[in-house]
């Protein structure tokens, strides 16, 4: 994440702010132009009054680039669902911005927003099917209970996971979508991914069942970023993709605060993604050792409770180069990217 300043008074503002806390200006964010003063330019996203979306829309009365990816919102007759929806969208906007800046497609061949997000809650009806967070055919379903800190922490402990956040969920689920999109009609890419993550034609349902019954094989951390990554090649890809995003975003944020020497890495997401993963991982490990210690000094949980073993970095490199390749202009097979869409 970059740092942003108020267009009116130059005070630092947070990415999620709708109002500058120093001068009171109403803030409007455009993914290409940054922040402006709502009074001076543009149209607010139609979701602004309800969920404090601070992004701009192409015209009055329509959704912004991020909100239009959400095709199902939670049942708003449940009052607490408005806050859950807001929390999810607040975590989703940085993701959409990152995908946009990386030049990954944000629309399908028909020009419709993709991936689509369906934010659903359990109805309390015991006979109704459970809402499972996951991806299928360009649609990401997110159980809105994940927006409740206490509930998410309960699930994290129950599943024995070291890390569970909305940001992590979103980065993981979009990976499944981009596996599909970036390998569509590209057998060469599919072969490359299969060579490094394994054969995804392995029965997915059976693989997941076996994972939940038996757990990860001993020594998994020498080859996988998480225990869940061992479940199936698709999950390995999604878990590893999420960690490529964690590294890129974490490093850009650290750069913005002067925590990384300018000579060590070129500045900004667009440049970082073009660096070999081994260099990025080296800088990240150095940074996270320090941040882990700072967190411990505060009595917090470990900031980055993961090991980047060399085979994991090699998998991250495959994903990083796939992203760069998808972004290159000569990639004729890719659907139109978001930047090719009308403003
Ligand atoms: Zn201001
Ligand atoms: Zn919006
Ligand atoms: Zn998954």
Q: Which of 64, 83, 109 is the last residue before a domain boundary? A: 64
Beta bridge partners of 30: 34
List, for residues 67-80, the tens digit of each pLDDT value: 999 999 999 999 99
Nearby residues of 336 by Cβ (< 8 Å), 6 or more positions away: 105, 107, 109, 111
Assess whether 237 and 152 both reside in one domain. yes
Distance 44 CA to ligand 1 centre (A): 18
- Which ligand is nearest the CA of 12, by number? 1
Q: Which of 11, 36, 64 is the last residue before a domain boundary? A: 64
- Which ligand is nearest the CA of 179, by number? 3
Distance 141 CA to ligand 2 centre (A): 18
Instruction: Tell me if residue 47 falls in helix, strand or coil.
Output: coil
Assess whether 143 and 83 both reside in one domain. yes
CA-to-CA separations, 6 to 22, 37, 97, 268, in angstroms, rounded: 9, 8, 19, 20
Q: Model confidence at 339, in pLDDT bands (50, 70, 90)?
A: very low
DSSP of 240-258: HHHHHHHHHHHHHHHHHTT
- Which ligand is nearest the CA of 44, by number? 2
List, for residues 90-101, the tens digit of each pLDDT value: 999 999 999 999
Please tell me the predicted confidence (pLDDT) of residue 4.
98
Assess whether 87 and 41 both reside in one domain. no
Instruction: Tell me if residue 284 falls in helix, strand or coil.
Output: helix
Distance 143 CA to ligand 2 centre (A): 20
Assess whether 49 and 107 both reside in one domain. no
Please tell me the predicted confidence (pLDDT) of residue 341.
40
- Which ligand is nearest the CA of 7, by number? 1
List, for residues 15-30, the tens digit of each pLDDT value: 999 999 999 999 999 9
Q: Which of 32, 64, 96 is the last residue before a domain boundary? A: 64
Assess whether 52 and 196 both reside in one domain. no
Distance 45 CA to ligand 2 centre (A): 5
Please tell me the predicted confidence (pLDDT) of residue 313.
98
List, for residues 261-298, the tens digit of each pLDDT value: 999 999 999 999 999 999 999 999 999 999 999 999 99
Please tell me the predicted confidence (pLDDT) of residue 298.
98
Assess whether 135 and 188 both reside in one domain. yes
Whether the per-residue pLDDT at 334 is higher than 70: the answer is no
- Containing domain of residue 281, as a range? 68-340
List, for residues 288-326, the tens digit of each pLDDT value: 999 999 999 999 999 999 999 999 999 999 999 999 999
Residue 251 φ/ψ region, left for φ over 0, alpha for ψ in the -120 to 50 degree band, beta for the rest: alpha
Assess whether 58 and 189 both reside in one domain. no
Distance 3 CA to ligand 1 centre (A): 14
Task: Count the Cβ atoms, other than its own, within 10 Å of residue 278.
Answer: 13
* CA distance between the termini of the chain: 22
In the numeric block, which tokens belong to residue 101?
A: 């800046």
Q: Which of 121, 110, 62, 71 is nearest to 92 (CA)?
A: 71
Q: Quick one: which H or E segment has residue 58?
A: none
Assess whether 18 and 100 both reside in one domain. no
- The alpha carbon dihedral of 87, 89, 92, 97 has a sign of negative
Q: How far apart are CA 49 and CA 60, in angstroms?
A: 13
Distance 6 CA to ligand 1 centre (A): 5
Assess whether 219 and 270 both reside in one domain. yes
Whether the per-residue pLDDT at 337 is higher than 60: the answer is no
Distance 65 CA to ligand 1 centre (A): 24
Assess whether 40 and 100 both reside in one domain. no
Distance 68 CA to ligand 2 centre (A): 7
Assess whether 46 and 161 both reside in one domain. no
With helix as H, strand as E and coil as C, how does 112-133 read? CECCEEEEECCCCCCCCCCCCC
Instruction: Tell me if residue 1 falls in helix, strand or coil.
Output: coil
List, for residues 185-235, the tens digit of each pLDDT value: 999 999 999 999 999 999 999 999 999 999 999 999 999 999 999 999 999
Report the domain count for the chain.
2
Nearby residues of 114 by Cβ (< 8 Å), 6 or more positions away: 69, 105, 106, 107, 108, 138, 177, 181
Please tell me the predicted confidence (pLDDT) of residue 332.
46
The pLDDT mean for the chain works out to 94
Assess whether 9 and 87 both reside in one domain. no
Q: Model confidence at 342, in pLDDT bands (50, 70, 90)?
A: very low
Whether the per-residue pLDDT at 3 is higher than 90: the answer is yes
């Amino acid at each position: 994440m970059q740092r942003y300043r108020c267009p009116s008074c130059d005070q630092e503002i947070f990415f999620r702010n709708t109002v500058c806390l120093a001068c009171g200006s109403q803030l409007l964010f455009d993914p290409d132009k940054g922040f402006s003063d709502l009074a001076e330019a543009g149209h607010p996203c139609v979701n602004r009054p309800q969920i404090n979306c601070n992004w701009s829309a192409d015209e009055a009365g329509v959704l912004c680039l991020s909100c239009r990816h959400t095709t199902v919102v939670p049942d708003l007759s449940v009052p607490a669902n408005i806050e859950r929806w807001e929390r999810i969208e607040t975590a989703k906007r940085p993701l959409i911005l990152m995908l946009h800046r990386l030049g990954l497609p944000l629309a399908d061949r028909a020009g419709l927003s993709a991936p689509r997000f369906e934010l659903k809650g359990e109805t309390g009806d015991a006979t109704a099917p459970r809402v499972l967070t996951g991806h299928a055919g360009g649609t990401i379903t997110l159980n809105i209970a994940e927006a409740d800190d206490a509930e998410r922490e309960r699930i994290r402990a129950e599943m024995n996971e070291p890390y569970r956040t909305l940001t992590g969920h979103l980065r993981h689920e979009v990976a499944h979508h981009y596996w599909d999109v970036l390998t569509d009609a590209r057998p060469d890419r599919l072969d490359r991914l299969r060579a490094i993550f394994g054969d995804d034609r392995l029965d997915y349902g059976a693989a997941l069942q076996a994972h939940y019954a038996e757990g990860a094989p001993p020594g998994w951390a020498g080859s996988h970023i998480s225990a869940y990554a061992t479940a199936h090649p698709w999950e390995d890809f999604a878990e590893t993709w999420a960690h490529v995003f964690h590294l890129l975003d974490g490093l850009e944020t650290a750069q913005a605060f002067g925590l990384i020497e300018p000579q060590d890495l070129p500045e900004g997401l667009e440049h970082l993604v073009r660096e070999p993963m081994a260099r990025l991982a080296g800088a990240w490990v150095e940074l996270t050792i320090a941040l882990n210690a700072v967190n411990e000094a505060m009595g917090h949980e470990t900031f980055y409770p993961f090991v980047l073993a060399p085979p994991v970095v090699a998998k991250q490199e495959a994903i990083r180069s796939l992203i760069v390749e998808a972004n290159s202009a000569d990639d004729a097979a890719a659907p139109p990217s978001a930047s090719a869409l009308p403003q």
